[in-house]
Chain A
Amino acid sequence: MISGTSEGPPGNGVPRLIPFGGGKGGVGKTFVAANLATTLAKAGHRVVAVDGDLEGANLHTALGVPRPRNSVAEFAAEREEDVRKLLEDTPFPNLRLIAATRPNLANPQPSHALRVRFVRALRTLPADYVFIDLGAGADATVMDYFMVCDDGVVVIAPEPTSVENAYAFMRAAFYRRLRLAMVSAEVRKVIALAMDERNERGIRTPLDLLREVKSIDTEEAHRFVDVMRAFRPRIIVNDVHTAEDIRLGFSVRSVCRKYFAIDAEYLGYVNHDSAARASVRARRPLVDSDPRSDAAVYLARIARKLIAPRIEAAEAGVSA
């Protein structure tokens, strides 16, 4: 699942999958995803918004669909094979929804094999963009969806807890894709070891790990560097109050580069705006209910950047 196409606007009939994660709950993932999806739909793109949070579904509410008839839960319970039948209309012509309501609480999450099948099915949907709104945390049920492309979106709020979780989230995503890309059993073992943050070999950063891998197998080291280069999470800072909050995005980017050798991109920020809260209460995307509000202006800008052709991944001197 590592080789997601993510260049520019899709034209080959395959939708571009864009996951929205970030580790911590309550930072506005759903708000941001719902509004960006609505913005693109209003601009004429065909968008499907998928709620990936079976244990805390609320994307449908954010999009103004009070009682979805279908749900990912049907797929998880293997009662419905055809993902197209899960599509739900929204108040916006080009935007459709796959909700995550009514899960089987005894066993809400689909198995790994089912998740893989689900993602494969999403790629066949008649859409330009498929957004996946992820739940909190960084476990396998979340991470499998974040791995659908190299440049998933990480939503951060300007507070220590969120920043801390975001690093953990990006770290988890990076090691996961690394483990998948490696071939040799010995190297995989070292990676598994490094994933334990308190490993005895003192491997703290991906760069430490790269050194270890290099000493075992140069070919694997090259693959390692490829994964490192390709992985470009994109950061959105939500609910900023001050100019310092805005700089946080640049700082996180800098720390990612220096400490994790991960080349994150700063996609933009959304200003704190009481209109945002009002829109959530009204169960309507802000960009629809109040398109001239401050936050809506920022969201529209982020939407433009989100689908812009990718700037060539920094030839950032990653050397094996």
Chain B
Amino acid sequence: MKPLTEQDYYETLDVSRSANFEDIERAYRLACDTYCEDSLAGYPVFEVGDIEVLRERIEIAYRILVDPETRRAYDQELSVQAEHTAPAPTWRASGEEPVVEEVRPTAPVLAPLDALDELEEGEGEWTGARLRRARLRQGIEIEDITKVTKVNPTYLSYIEEERFDGLPASVYVRGFVVGYAGVLGLDAKQVAASYLERCDERRGTGKRRLFARK
């Protein structure tokens, strides 16, 4: 690890040299989150002044790496530097000169994101908790789903918490769940069917219950 000012753009964004477009986008969003003014992770350590410098570097790193053309040029420059180890970089961040010593591959911060994500859930019933897990895994907030589906966030929370008594008639719940699942890119039909079965059963409004009663 190197001092901030000596990191190359890949290190600045914490992505590997082979990062693709999505990796870079994701890393940039995380960096913006982490190094914003009121960052929960950052405020205990940031000192006045140094976070601005870092933010500026992140911005430059992102702009160069996200554009295939500038990235190619930059890669070329890095490899030239690695060959000659002569520090003559022309990519400068606001006047300061990145001193490139040993260029080594950096393990990207976001690589374990996928490892973190395997939940081994496979098939099976869609419960409220499972819906929430699927949502959180994708970093989506309740409000994000509301923005797309226009479904009241309270209802979305009730769906996750399985507070069936607080939810309207099943035909509406089905619509909510279809919308919810759609935002997460899940098989909406299947998810809604599974969830509604559970919902109806708990509320005692399901077909099964009606048949059982007669």
- Which residues from chain A sit less than 8 Å from chain B, CB to CB? 158-160, 163-164, 167, 204, 207, 228, 240, 242-244, 246-248, 250-255, 257-261, 263, 265-266, 268, 271, 293-294, 297-298, 301, 305, 311, 314-319
Which chain B residues border A305 with CB–CB below 8 Å?
115-116
Contact A316 B106 (CB under 8 A): yes
Cβ of B135 under 8 Å from chain A: yes
10 further interface pairs, Cβ-Cβ under 8 Å (given A244-B141, A250-B34, A258-B4): A207-B3, A243-B140, A247-B139, A250-B113, A251-B41, A257-B1, A297-B119, A315-B106, A316-B107, A319-B102
Contact B40 A318 (CB under 8 A): no
Interface string of B95-115 (1 = CB under 8 A from A): 000000111111101101101
Contact of A317 among B39, B104, B109, B132 (CB under 8 A): B104
Q: What's the nearest-Cβ distance from chain A to residue B98, in Å? A: 13
Which chain A residues border B119 with CB–CB below 8 Å?
297, 301
Cβ of B207 under 8 Å from chain A: no
- Chain B: how many interface residues by the 8 Å CB criterion? 44
Cβ of B45 under 8 Å from chain A: yes
Contact A250 B30 (CB under 8 A): yes
Which chain B residues border A317 with CB–CB below 8 Å?
1-2, 11, 102-106
Contact of A247 among B33, B101, B106 (CB under 8 A): B33
Q: What's the nearest-Cβ distance from chain B to residue A312, in Å? A: 8
Contact A247 B30 (CB under 8 A): yes
Contact of A228 among B1, B34, B139 (CB under 8 A): B1
Contact B136 A246 (CB under 8 A): yes
Contact B136 A163 (CB under 8 A): no
Given contacts A163-B44, A243-B139, A315-B105, contact A266 B116 (CB under 8 A): yes
Query: Interface majority SS on A: helix, strand, loop or mixed?
Result: helix
Which chain B residues border A257 with CB–CB below 8 Å?
1, 14, 109
Q: Which of A158, A207, A254, A261 has the most chain B CB atoms inside 10 A of its CB?
A: A254
Q: What's the nearest-Cβ distance from chain B to residue A310, in Å? A: 12
Q: How far is the CA of A260 from the CA of B46 in the complex (A)?
A: 12
Contact A248 B139 (CB under 8 A): no
Contact B133 A255 (CB under 8 A): no
Q: How far is the CA of A152 from the CA of B103 in the complex (A)?
A: 29
Q: What's the nearest-Cβ distance from chain A to residue B213, in Å? A: 29
Which chain A residues border B1 with CB–CB below 8 Å?
207, 228, 257, 261, 263, 316-318
Which are the 3 A-B pairs with shortest beta-carbon distances? Answer: A314-B107, A251-B41, A251-B34
Q: How far is the CA of A68 from the CA of B14 in the complex (A)?
A: 48
Cβ of B54 under 8 Å from chain A: yes
Q: What's the nearest-Cβ distance from chain B to residue A315, in Å? A: 6
Contact of B34 among A242, A255, A265, A268 (CB under 8 A): A255
Contact B40 A297 (CB under 8 A): no
Q: Which of B4, B42, B43, B118 has the most chain A CB atoms inside 10 A of its CB?
A: B42
Q: What's the nearest-Cβ distance from chain B to residue A204, in Å? A: 8
Which chain A residues border B112 with CB–CB below 8 Å?
265-266, 311
Cβ of B31 under 8 Å from chain A: yes
Q: What's the nearest-Cβ distance from chain B to residue A215, in Å? A: 15
Contact of A271 among B11, B42, B120, B136 (CB under 8 A): B136
Cβ of B80 under 8 Å from chain A: no
Q: Which of B4, B11, B112 has the most chain A CB atoms inside 10 A of its CB?
A: B112
Given contacts A254-B34, A263-B1, contact A243 B43 (CB under 8 A): no
Q: What's the nearest-Cβ distance from chain A to residue B127, in Å? A: 9
Q: How far is the CA of A251 from the CA of B133 in the complex (A)?
A: 20
Which chain A residues border B105 with CB–CB below 8 Å?
315, 317
Q: How far is the CA of A261 from the CA of B47 in the complex (A)?
A: 17
Which chain A residues border B136 with CB–CB below 8 Å?
240, 242-243, 246, 271
Contact B39 A294 (CB under 8 A): no
* 10 residue pairs A–B, Cβ–Cβ below 8 Å: A160-B43, A160-B44, A243-B141, A244-B141, A247-B33, A251-B41, A254-B14, A258-B54, A311-B112, A317-B1
Which chain B residues border A163 with CB–CB below 8 Å?
40-41, 44
The chain A residue sitting closest to B36, CB to CB, is A251
Q: How far is the CA of A293 from the CA of B138 in the complex (A)?
A: 20
Which chain B residues border A263 with CB–CB below 8 Å?
1, 107
Which chain B residues border A315 with CB–CB below 8 Å?
104-107
